[in-house]
Amino acid sequence: MTPSASRHSSPVPWAVERAGAHPIVTNASDEPLEYVKALVFDGNERLHAESWGLVLPGDHSELCLCGIEPSDASVALIWFRAGDNQELLWRFVL
């Protein structure tokens, strides 16, 4: 990793418990995360979005992926760290 790339990377604050069609997403960091959104995809098609707002450390949310083939599903989480104007995104597959 180059010095400029390392300056922009940060640990992913999320933990995901892959529980079939209902994965549970937890803020595993010590920081509150603001303006959190979850975008659910079936292949390349976005199916729906959920706005979670402020997610405190240890808070969790359950996603419903019923009717989606697990091998085709992916979720993108978008958030801001408290007091930071940089939008962050992390996408995971089941």
Tell me what pLDDT residue 8 has: 62
Question: Are the beta carbons of 18 and 94 closer than 8 angstroms?
Answer: yes
Q: Which residues contact 52 (CB under 8 A, 6 or more apart)?
A: 36, 37, 38, 61
Tell me what pLDDT residue 51 has: 97
**Around Cβ 87, how many Cβ atoms within 10 Å?**
11
Range of the domain at 56: 3-93
* Residue 60 belongs to domain with CATH number: 2.60.40
**What total of structural domains would you count in the chain?**
1
Q: What is the pLDDT of residues 14-70, one digit of tens each?
A: 999 987 889 999 999 999 999 999 999 998 888 899 999 999 999 999 999 988 888
